[in-house]
C-alpha cells in the first residue's frame, strides 16, 4: 500500500506544491504545509475508495488541510505579502508581458479569501464546476455565482495593479 501511495504522490505532487504556494507566505510555511498534506493524504489513503478520481481526492485533502491549518499566533504578515517567488516562472524563455501578468496574478490572488483561492485554483487547473462543487461541498450553482464574483474581484484588483 505504501508503494502505491508513494507512486501516486510522486506523480501528482504538483497539486500539493500549487496549493502550498497559494496558501503560504514563506518557504518554511510551505514546507510545513506540504508535509502536513502528505501526512493527511497518507492517513486518508486506506479509506479512499476510488469513487472519485485520484486528483479530486488530492485536491480535496490538500485544500481542506490548507484552509483549516492552525498556526500558533506569531506576528503574521498580512495576506498581501504572498511574495513573487511563490509564483515562479519556468526557466526557459519567458517574455516581459508574461512576467508582468504573473506579477499581476499573484498580487490579485493574494487578496482573495481562503475559499476564493480554492475555487480559483481549481478553475485555473481546468477542473469542471461539478468537481469544484464536490471538493468544496457547495452546489454547482453556487460555484458559478462564486466564480463570477471572483472574476469581477480579480478584474478590479488587476486594474488597480495596472
Partner 1 sequence: MELKDLKKAWASVSSDKELDESQIREMLSKRTSNLIERINRNIKIGFVLLFLLIVLFILDDFVFSPQVLDAMGNGITIPGWLLFINVFSYALILSTFIYFVLKYYRAKKRCDVNCNLRETLQKIIKILLLYQRLFYLALITFSVAVAISFMSGMFMGMEASAADSGMLVTEIPFNQMLIVFITGIVVLSLLVGGIFLFMRWGFRKLYGNYIQKLKVTLTELNEVDD
Q: Which residues bind partner 1 (CB under 8 A)?
A: 2, 6-7, 9-10, 13-14, 17-18, 20-21, 30, 32, 34-36, 38-40, 42-44, 47-48, 57, 60-61, 63-65, 67-68, 70, 72-73, 87-91, 94, 98, 100-102, 104-105, 113-115, 118, 124-126, 134-139, 142, 145-146, 151, 154-155, 158
Supply the DSSP symbol for 25. S
Minimum distance from residue 43 beta carbon to partner 1 (Å): 6
Minimum distance from residue 150 beta carbon to partner 1 (Å): 10
Torsion-angle region of residue 70: left (phi > 0), alpha (psi -120 to 50) or beta?
beta
Cell numbers given for 123 = 478553475
Q: How distant is the alpha carbon of residue 82 from its chain centre?
A: 13
Q: How distant is the alpha carbon of residue 55 from its chain centre?
A: 13
Amino acid at each position: 500500500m505504501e508503494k502505491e501511495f508513494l507512486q501516486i504522490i510522486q506523480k501528482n505532487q504538483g497539486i500539493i506544491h500549487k496549493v502550498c504556494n497559494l496558501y503560504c507566505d514563506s518557504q518554511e510555511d510551505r514546507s510545513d504545509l506540504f508535509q502536513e498534506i502528505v501526512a493527511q493524504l497518507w492517513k486518508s489513503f486506506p479509506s479512499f475508495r476510488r469513487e472519485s478520481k485520484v486528483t479530486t481526492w488530492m485536491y480535496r485533502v490538500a485544500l481542506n488541510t490548507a484552509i483549516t491549518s492552525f498556526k500558533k499566533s506569531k506576528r503574521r504578515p498580512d495576506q498581501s505579502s504572498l511574495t513573487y517567488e511563490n509564483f515562479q516562472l519556468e526557466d526557459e524563455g519567458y517574455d516581459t508581458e508574461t512576467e508582468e501578468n504573473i506579477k499581476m496574478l499573484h498580487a490579485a490572488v493574494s487578496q482573495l479569501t481562503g475559499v476564493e483561492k480554492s475555487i480559483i485554483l481549481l478553475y485555473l487547473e481546468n477542473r469542471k464546476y461539478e468537481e469544484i462543487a464536490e471538493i468544496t461541498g457547495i452546489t454547482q450553482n453556487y460555484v458559478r455565482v462564486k466564480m463570477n464574483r471572483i472574476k469581477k474581484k480579480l478584474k478590479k484588483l488587476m486594474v488597480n495593479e495596472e
